Homo-oligomer: A and B are copies of this chain.
Amino acid sequence: MPITVQFAAGPRLWPEYREPLARAFAAAGLDVAMTEAADPAAVDYIVFAPGGTITDFTPYTRCKAVLNLWAGVERIVDNPTLTQPLCRMVDPALTDGMVEYVVGHVLRHHLGMDQHILHQDGVWRNHLIPPIARERPVTILGLGALGAACGQALARLNFPVTGWSRSPKEVAGIRCLSGADGLAAALDGAQVVVLLLPLTAETESLLNADRFGLMAPGGFVINPGRGPLIDDAALLAALDSGQLAHATLDVFRQEPLPPAHPFWAHPKVTVTPHIAADTRAESASRLVAENIRRGEAGEPFLHQVDRARGY
């Protein structure tokens, strides 16, 4: 009897994922019947994304796992009806895309590119030589798969990288700090801060006025993680006072960011529309298939969420 998979990640993603998932199931030797709508009591696995088509997981009595297509699970993890194992997406292409976004925007700010992109005015300002990367300390908050990969890529370009995580971690090539005391030390004198933390009750508004004040004056903030990690009013105040030089933000408390939001018009804010890391259907489908194979074989799932931690 085929394995029943309900694709509950929403109608927008269905045409993008249908064929890659079918290919991945076949490559994994899985006999799968996949539909957008199924009898809940017959479903073995749910493929999900925020904004997906299931809000009540109670009727899915036979479901062995909910497989998320996104890395972030904060819009589903607190759903009290969700008692099945929940797995996050850790897509290698998603990690690649995030590294490219983070390294690109760190270098953009490091090199002062915007003054050239925005001011092609015929004035030859060749006295503005940036320092080299060795002289530009960068701090990454969050040392999960994405934060660690970004930190190591920046370290390979000679940036002195400090990484911070809630619990102690070791990442080759970067200085790793943890815990509450470690956070202040990690921010102290940082010229660029990159936010790649999961969103939890503890990390909401983690970057607030006090913590901006620990950074080097004229520093840069890059947030491709989660919008609510930043206290937005404190960020605007730090930009206006000159404490920060610029913020490049890919995620927001409300998305799409409303056209009237002050971030759009602020000359020291660059809004990008949640594009830093997008799941790619081919590689994501391979992980979904691998987790179904594991579930059928009774092996532990990859990237299963710890409900107590929230990620």
Contacts and interface: CB of A to CB of B under 8 A. Distances in A.
Contacts of A96: 132-134, 158
A120 interface: yes
B270 A100 contact: no
B129 A275 contact: yes
A279 to B, nearest CB: 10
A271 interface: yes
Contact of A153 (B104, B125, B157, B259): B157
B97 A103 contact: no
Interface string A197-215: 0000000000000000000
A258 B123 CA distance: 9
Contacts of A113: 104-105, 108, 113, 117
Nearest to A258: B122
Given A103-B107, A275-B126, A264 B121 contact: yes
A280 B103 contact: no
A116 interface: yes
Given A116-B270, A275-B129, A157 B100 contact: yes
A132 B93 contact: yes
Interface in A127-157: 128-130, 132-134, 153, 156-157
A126 B273 contact: yes
Interface string A266-285: 00011111110010100000
A108 B100 CA distance: 10
Interface string A164-184: 000000000000000000000
Interface of A: 93, 96-97, 99-101, 103-105, 107-108, 110-111, 113-114, 116-118, 120-126, 128-130, 132-134, 153, 156-158, 255-260, 264-265, 269-275, 278, 280
Please list the 8 inter-chain residue pairs (A to B) with the smallest Cβ-Cβ separation, ordered nearest first.
A122-B259, A104-B107, A124-B256, A126-B273, A124-B273, A96-B132, A122-B264, A129-B278
Given A122-B264, A124-B256, 17 more contacts: A93-B132, A96-B133, A100-B130, A100-B133, A103-B103, A104-B104, A116-B271, A118-B118, A120-B270, A121-B264, A124-B257, A125-B273, A129-B275, A129-B278, A132-B280, A153-B156, A153-B157
